[in-house]
Structure 1
């Protein structure tokens, strides 16, 4: 909880939240703004989008996938509607493809999509200790990027950097690690 409270970000996209009612109430009490979430069955999965007060003039949840894998929120700021999409893609390829398809239907020209896609997009996104395997869900991401005129902004800003990051909550602290 401290990691969320101390975070200076205006918008947080969280995956694998595994929240229960007590967790949700705790976050809502400590976060100064809107809390949107989608829980998976039991304590599995889960995604959340937290938006600080004042970021948007109004904000609304458009879609909440009941498996805790996809959440779509839209905020209004200066007469523009921004769509925020948080994905926690399944490990199984067919399920992942389904989630990517649903997410794609929610994309518009003002979309920010983040999350854990559970697929390696390029060879630069994998450590030397791992392998870059074929994955049929990868083509759906490329198709979505092309059709919706979207970009992987990290890769655009870091075209030849071989790195990836991992963030997780350990003992109620938000931990971030960049592995190169």
Structure 2
């Protein structure tokens, strides 16, 4: 992951490519020469198959810096190549600029991987997010794959990607600008099918400065490069990405208890505020009614009487609502008693409801009479 402010006020060209191994010196030279001709500012590679100490093999005359992360297995590993003289400062703490993350997702259906990705990005605060790499997932088989036999429902990993996209307010930038186009980034020889599994997911606030996004040709690897261009000069006019709560935090018991404590405190505080406001409103109504009654007693005009009646109607409406809430709460308590409610109603009907209510009396009337008595 790279967290960096940008000082370049022109276009920033990003290119991602799954290289499927660059252990071979010939293949490594071919791929790096190909990338040099495309003149990108930042290059994101997946499946490098290199050990950490071998990352120096990616250094070239046009590469100013190499950021490398070896995978736990030989078939993994990701790298970021930063073009020489490209003015970028790499930070390891929170900032309000860019957060870049290069990923190579598991081929297995492991949704937890994307939950970890979301948690990692969230730690870097309210920055512009550019998440990219080989997701090993087809987002929409109808337009992102040529062979869809046997596909019935989204995988758990796909659902996790959708959740990540929603929580971080991201968008698949290529699909956004090509809503119905069919272009692909990978060809599977065993399945004899093309698919689009390499993505740039970016903050929605970056869409307005996106100049271009294209999918290249499958030439130097079994994946096609994806190219994405941003116009940085207009960045200052944008607002940072809006904050969204990371719901995966609630799975942790300690975080959940802290969340309940904070929300509970806020609710109590808000309810207390509403109660004080309500009491104040009633007091003001009483004062206004008193003034209006005094005015009407001295003037006795029709307009004053109308205004007085309006104030009294508001006053009565307040208490009518309070009583309805009270009735509802008592009604719920009675109904929740299960079998006891029948005995309770029978006892109350026999002892307290006037005989004239039994003739044609509806159940609701009985309940209301009992509740009125309970008050």
- Within 5 Å, give how 1:64-83 maps onto structure 2: 80-83=96-99
CA shift digits 1:43-90 (9 cap, x unpaired): 22111111223434311467xxxxxxxxxxx9x8xxx52111111111
Q: Is the aligned partner of 1:92 residue 2:108?
A: yes
* Residues 62, 84 of structure 2: 8 Å contact kept: no
CA shift digits 1:82-126 (9 cap, x unpaired): 1111111111212xx222111112335411111111111112111
Match of 1:53 in 2: 84
**Cα distance in 2 for residues equivalent to 1:130 and 1:30:** 47
1:175 offset after TM fit, Å? 6.7
* Residues 42, 81 of structure 2: 8 Å contact kept: yes
Match of 1:106 in 2: 120
Distance 1:30 1:98, change over 3 A: farther
1:162 offset after TM fit, Å? 2.1
| Match 1:38 to one of 63, 69, 77 | 69
1:17 offset after TM fit, Å? 0.4
**Contiguous gaps of at least 5 residues in structure 2:** 1-28, 187-215, 226-375
Q: Is the aligned partner of 1:163 residue 2:183?
A: yes
Q: Is the aligned partner of 1:127 residue 2:158?
A: no
Match of 2:31 in 1: 3
1:28 offset after TM fit, Å? 2.5
TM-score normalised by L of structure 2: 0.38
| Match 1:150 to one of 154, 159, 170 | 170
1:160 offset after TM fit, Å? 0.6
* Residues 63, 81 of structure 2: 8 Å contact kept: no
Aligned residues: 159
1:149 offset after TM fit, Å? 1.2
**Cα distance in 1 for residues equivalent to 2:61 and 2:151:** 40
**Local SS of the residue matching 1:45:** coil
| Higher RCO (Cα < 8 Å, 6 or more apart) | 1
Match of 1:68 in 2: none
Distance 1:29 1:61, change over 3 A: farther
RMSD, matched Cα: 3.0
**Local SS of the residue matching 1:58:** coil
**Local SS of the residue matching 1:85:** strand
**Local SS of the residue matching 2:67:** strand
1:156 offset after TM fit, Å? 0.4
Distance 1:177 1:110, change over 3 A: closer
**Cα distance in 1 for residues equivalent to 2:72 and 2:145:** 30
**Cα distance in 1 for residues equivalent to 2:73 and 2:178:** 38
